[in-house]
Chains A and B, each alone.
Chain A
C-alpha cells in the first residue's frame, strides 16, 4: 500500500509559534478502481451521524458517472485530515478544530459553527470535504466516526469507522501513518491485491 511510514505522533504542523496543529492519528485511504458504486459507505456515514440516510449529508462522497468508462467513472472524495488543514485555518469561529480527545481529527464543533461556509470554500480538494448540512445550516465533516451518536461503537482513529466497516469490497482502508500530502498517491491507493484476481479484473 502506498503511503509513508511516518507516524502521526511525530508530526506537528507549525506555521508560526502561535499555531501548532498536531497531525491526525488516522487517515482514510481509498481505491477508486475497487469501488463498486453501491454507496453503502455514504449511507452508513449519514446513518451513524444523523440517524437517517441522506446522501447529501454523507461526509464521504462517492460519485460515479454511470455513462462513462473505467477508470474515470468513479471518484471518491473523503477528508484527508490534512497536516495543514486549510479548512481549520479558514474558520473564523474556531468551530472547525483539532479534537485532541479523539486522535486530533479535524472536526466541526456544531455549537460554535455559524454556517458561514468558509471551510467549504477553503478545502483545496474537490469535491469539498467539508459538507454543508442544509437542514441545520451548519458545516460538518469527517471525524473518523469520533462522534457517531447513532452507532454504539467506539469510533475515532483508534476505533471503528462506519464506512470501512460497511464497504462490501474493502475499498476503504485506514492508516495511522501520515500519507504523502502532495498529490493523490498518498490517499488513492491500490487495495485490490491477490484476492481481486478471481474477478478477472485488473489489479493494476
Chain B
C-alpha cells in the first residue's frame, strides 16, 4: 500500500537485538491500532500478564497517512499492557501528536515493536535505517526537556540549526531536529501515572506506559529521517486539500466557532491571559488547526486543553485571578513526565481529604504538604516531588489514585460518595458518565478513559460559554435536533436514527444507544486510531460547511485514497474497526475479563450529578428535541446491566460473560482467535 515504508522495527531489549518485521505481513490492518493489536496478539504469547511483566510487548504504530499533507494525520498509536487501569491492568492504548509519527515514517519505518527488558538504562537511536540501542546512564535522571536537548546535541553534533544541515547518515542531510520520546523522573521511578513526553508538551498521557518504559529501563527513543513517503496520487492529494479547505475552513475563522469548527486555525486550546501574549500558535505535523502555543516567557508552552486548566480554578480561588501558577504547573508536570489527569484530580482528592480532616500532619493519613499554598506553584512542586520520589503517601499516590485509596482503606467509601473521582477502570474523571453517557459507556466497555471526542462535540455545542473562568451559558447556535440529525446520518451502518443521540433517561439504556456506542467503538478503532487522524480536528459539525455537516465520516475517503491508492468507504473502514474491536475484546477476555467487572464506581449510580458549570446534552423531552440539563442525573445500575446485555447481543458476544463468540469472530476473519479462546475455555457461548 502506498504511504507505507515496508518495515517495522523490532527491538528486543533483553538481548539488545534489532530486527525487522515486514509491514506486508500486517497490511490488512492498514496501520496504527489495528496493526498494534494484531502484532500484540502474535508476539505476546501469554496475554494474562501485568504491565511489569517482561513478556509485555509494546507497539508504536504509524499509518500510511503519517508524513503526508493529509490534514491532522499527525498521530502515533502505542499499545501494550498498561499500568494505569484498576483493578486489572488492561491491554490498552495511548496516542500522541507532534512530529514523531511523521518522523518515524521519514526514517523508513511503519512502527516500532518493543520486547523484553534491558538490564540497564538505554535509549534507542534511530537515524533512517541505522538503529542502535545505546547506553542511557548519562541521561537517566534528567527531566524530559533536558533529555531531548542532550539527545539533539548527540545526534546532530554541533549543528546550528539556524544555519546548517546536519548529516543524518552517509550523505543524507536534514535541517530538522530529531523527534524524541522520553520518560522523565516519574517513569524512571515507576509511577503508574507517568507518561511519555515529546517536545515540551506532547504526551502519551494515559494508559500508564511511562512506568512500563521505566521498568524496561528504556529512557528514550530518538528518530530522525531523510526518506520519502510515497503518495499514490499527489495531484489528487493537493486537490483534496484544496477542496477540504474551501468546504470546511474559513479565513479568518469565526472566533465563536472555535469549539466545533475544528478544521480551521484555532485559538490555542484553553489559554487565558489578561493581555495579548508574545507567542505563536503551534501545530502538530500537517495539522490545520494548531491548538498548541509557544510563548516568549515559556509559561505553559506547548500545554493545551486539560493541562492548562488543571490548576486554573485552584489558582483563581487562591489568588482571585489567574496567575503564573496555572502555567508553571503545566511546565513542571511535562518536565517530570507526569499525567495531567492524575495530577489535577490527584491533588484535588488529597485536598478534599485534608478539608475533611482525614489527611494532614498527625491525621489518619499522615501528610505534611503545604495546603495553605494550594493553588500556588509551591504546592504543585512539592506534591510532584513527594509522589515521584515516593516519600510518605507519595509512595501510595505513585500507584495511582485508586490504589492509593485502597492502601488508605478508603476505596469503597470514596467510590461511593465520589470523593475519589475515578468512575471507570480507576481512571480520573475526564467527562462524567452521568452526563456524557457515551463517554462513560465507551470507556467502561473498553479499557481506559476513552478520550475520543466524536460525540463529545455535542456537549460543546450545547454548552457554548466562556465558562472558563467567568461562567454563563450562551444560546447554542445549532439546535439539538439538528446536531442529532447531522451526526446520526454519519453513523453508518446504523445511520438515520437521530434518537441514537437522545440523552433522555428513557433512551440511554436502549438498544439504539447500544448502536451509538458500537458505532463509536468501530469507527474510531479504524478511522482515528488506525488511520491516525486526530479526533480533535475531524468533527461532526462545522458551520462553515454546507448543512453544517462536519468533516467526520465524510472527508476521510478522498484523502485515504489519494495517499494509498486504495478506495475504502467509510462503511468499509467501520467494518474493519469492528474487526479490530473484536480482537481487542478477545485479548481482554484472555486477560480474564468478565461482564461482572464492567461496572462504574458506585457514586455514578448513587450520587446525583451536580456542578457549577453547565452540562447540557441533546435529547427529547415530551416528544420535542432540546438540550437537556443533565443536573441531578445518576445512572440506574439495573438498567445499565440490561443495557450491557443489549450491547453484548448487538456485538454478537455472549451476554452472560461478555466474551466474543465463534460466530462473530469468524464473521470478521478471526477464526484463529476463536480457536485460541476455545482452547483456553474463554469462548463466548453461542446464543441458544
- Which residues of A does B touch, CB under 8 Å? 33-40, 43-44, 46-48, 50-57, 61, 63, 65-67, 69-71, 73-75, 77, 126-128, 132, 134-135, 150-153, 162, 165-166, 168-170, 195-203
Contact = CB atoms under 8 A, between A and B. Distances in A.
A128 B405 CA distance: 59
Contacts of A40: 69, 286
Interface string B146-179: 0011000000000011111100000111111100
Contacts of A46: 228
B164 to A, nearest CB: 7
B238 A55 contact: no
A175 B145 CA distance: 40
B144 to A, nearest CB: 10
Q: Which 10 A-B pairs have the closest CB atoms?
A: A195-B252, A126-B163, A38-B283, A52-B228, A150-B234, A36-B290, A54-B228, A66-B199, A43-B69, A36-B283
Interface in B41-69: 67-69
B173 A38 contact: no
A126 B159 CA distance: 12
B252 A198 contact: yes
A61 B278 CA distance: 24
Nearest to B160: A126
B290 A168 contact: yes
B174 A70 contact: no
A151 B235 contact: yes
A162 B164 CA distance: 24
8 contacts: A38-B286, A40-B69, A47-B234, A53-B228, A66-B177, A127-B164, A134-B171, A200-B277
A115 to B, nearest CB: 11
Given A55-B106, A69-B296, A126-B163, A34 B280 contact: yes
Given A36-B283, A127-B164, A195-B251, 9 more contacts: A36-B287, A37-B280, A51-B230, A52-B228, A54-B106, A55-B226, A63-B177, A168-B288, A202-B276
Residue of B229, B265, B302 with most partner-chain A CB within 10 A: B265
A69 B294 contact: yes
Given A43-B286, A52-B231, A198-B267, A67 B148 contact: yes
A162 B162 contact: no
Given A47-B69, A48-B234, A168-B265, A70 B175 contact: no
Contacts of B277: 200-202
Contacts of A165: 238, 242
What is the interface of chain B mostly: helix, strand, loop, or mixed?
loop
B234 A200 contact: no
Interface string B263-291: 00101100101001111111111111110
Given A38-B290, A53-B69, A53-B231, A70 B238 contact: no
Nearest to B278: A202
Contacts of A53: 67-69, 228-229, 231
B278 A71 contact: yes
Interface in B375-395: none
A203 B279 CA distance: 10
B285 A38 contact: yes
Contacts of B226: 54-56, 134
A150 B282 CA distance: 29
Contacts of A43: 67-69, 286
Contacts of A135: 228
Given A54-B228, A55-B176, A56-B173, A169 B290 contact: yes
Contacts of B132: none
A36 B234 contact: no
Contacts of B174: 55-56
A54 to B, nearest CB: 4
B227 interface: yes
Nearest to B241: A166
Nearest to A61: B175
Nearest to B301: A69
A75 B301 CA distance: 18
A48 B69 CA distance: 11
B612 interface: no
B357 interface: no
Nearest to B202: A66
B139 interface: no
Residue of B172, B234, B242, B252 with most partner-chain A CB within 10 A: B234
B437 interface: no
B238 A151 contact: yes
